[in-house]
Amino acid sequence: MSTRDQIDVSVLPRFTFGPRGLMWWGVASFLAIESTMLGICLVSYYYLRDRAFEWPLAPTMLPDLLAPTVGLLVLLISVLPMLYTERAAKRLDTAATIRGHVACVAIGLLIIAARVWEFRGLHVGWDTNVYGSVVWIIIGVHSYHLFTEVMETTVLGLLFMLGHTHPKLFVDATDNALYWYFIVIIWVPCYVTLFLVPRLG
């Protein structure tokens, strides 16, 4: 046995939640990337709007307000089941975690349905003019994230149901919640930009 000083780390936990773990940082970095990308899309929107004489560009009509507002509300409400899921996962409560995932997927599908409805109320094609292009790209990028996240939540829920109850998966579930919150929060400026700002004149 050598005589050097030793720090024995075998007493340390083997799984941790939140920023103590690796995955949280990975997800956070990914979200930083995606926020930057959506941020640049939004900045482009304002840049183009600033150059236009009228906005939306003629002959485009204003987008409908009802569908996106309902969509936003459902999206905001979806935070509640996700909070429930996250707490359950942190408690390592398998049954509650599964219930939470089911609820989240259900509300996720509802959001996707609302999104389809929103697209129908845009009254502009992506190839009509640049207003249409930038609106479609912002909603498109966000919808792609939304779709991916609902898929990921589904896969996680299925894994729990299949009996994969290692702590690592519970940690993944909490990091997945982070992604969900991001999708909700980032949609607020998008909603304001796309549906309220053009109404300001």
Partner 1 sequence: MLCALAAPGCKREERAFRVEPPQAAIAVGTRLTSLQPGTPLPARSQENEYEKNAFAMNEGKRLFQWYNCSGCHAMGGGGMGPALMDDKWIYGSSPDQIFSTVVEGRPNGMPSFGGKIPNFQVWQIAAYVRSLSGNVDQIAAPTRNDNMHVKTQEQSAEKVAPADSAPPPPQ
Partner 2 sequence: MRPAPRGSGPSEPAARTAEEASLHQELQETWSRDPGLRGWLASNDHKDIGRRFIVTALIFFVLGGLLAFLMRLQLAHPNGTVLGPDLYNQIFTMHGTTMMFLFAIPVMEAVGIYLVPLMVGTRAIAFPRLASFSYWIFLFGGVALYTFFFLNIGPDAGWFMYTPLSGPEFSPGKRVDIWSQLINFTEISALSASIELIVTTFKLRAPGMSINRIPLLVWAMLVTSFMVVFAMPSVMTASLFLTTDRLVGTHFYNAAEGGDPLLWQHVFWFFAHPEVYIIFVPATGFVSSILPAFTRRPVFGYTALVLSLIATVFIGFGLWVHHMFATGIPQLGASFFTAATMMIAIPSGIQVFCWIASIWSGNLRLRTPMLFVLGFLFLFVLGGLSGVMQASVPLDLQVHDTYFVVAHFHYVLIGGAVFPLFGALYFWFPKVTGRMPGEKMGKLSFALMFVGFNLTFFPMHVLGLEGMPRRVYTYLPETGWAGENLLATIGAITLATGFLVTLVNAWWSIRHGAPAGENPWDADTLEWTTPSPPPAYNFLHVPVVDSREPGWTRTSASPIVTGVRSDCREVLLTSLDAEPDSLMELPNPSIWPMVTAMAAGTTFVLACFTPWAVPIGTVLGGIGLIGWAWPKSEDDECEPPRVEDMSEQEKKEGAPRVRL
Binding-site ranges for partner 2 (CB under 8 A)? 1-16, 20-22, 25-26, 29-30, 32-34, 36-37, 40-41, 44, 47-48, 51-52, 57, 91-92, 94, 126-134, 136-137, 151, 155, 159, 164-170
CB of 138 to partner 2, least distance (A): 11
Q: Is 126 in the site for partner 1 (CB under 8 A)?
A: no
Task: Give the range of 70-78, 84-92, 127-135, 152-160 binding partner 1 by CB under 8 A.
Answer: 127-135
> Which CB sits closer to partner 2, 102 or 137?
137
> Which CB sits closer to partner 2, 12 or 200?
12
**Tokens 């304002």 sit at which residue?**
46
Contacts for 185-193: CB closer than 8 Å, 24+ residues apart: 186/34, 186/35, 186/38, 186/142, 187/72, 187/75, 187/142, 188/72, 189/42, 190/38, 190/42, 190/138, 190/139, 190/142, 191/68, 191/72, 193/42, 193/45, 193/46, 193/138
Pick from 94, 128, 154, 165 the residue near partner 1 by CB under 8 A: 128
Task: Give the range of 18-26, 90-98, 124-132, 158-166 binding partner 1 by CB under 8 A.
Answer: 124-132
Q: Is 123 in the site for partner 1 (CB under 8 A)?
A: no
Q: Report the alpha-carbon distance of residue 73 to residue 126 in Å, rounded.
A: 26
CB of 133 to partner 1, least distance (A): 10
Residue 68 contacts residue 180 (beta carbons within 8 Å)? no
Residue 165 contacts residue 124 (beta carbons within 8 Å)? no
Q: Is 127 in the site for partner 1 (CB under 8 A)?
A: yes
Q: Exposure of 28 by Cβ count < 10 A (0-12 exposed, 13-18 middle, 19+ buried)?
A: middle
> Which CB sits closer to partner 1, 126 or 147?
126
Interacting residue ranges for partner 1, rule: CB under 8 A: 127-129
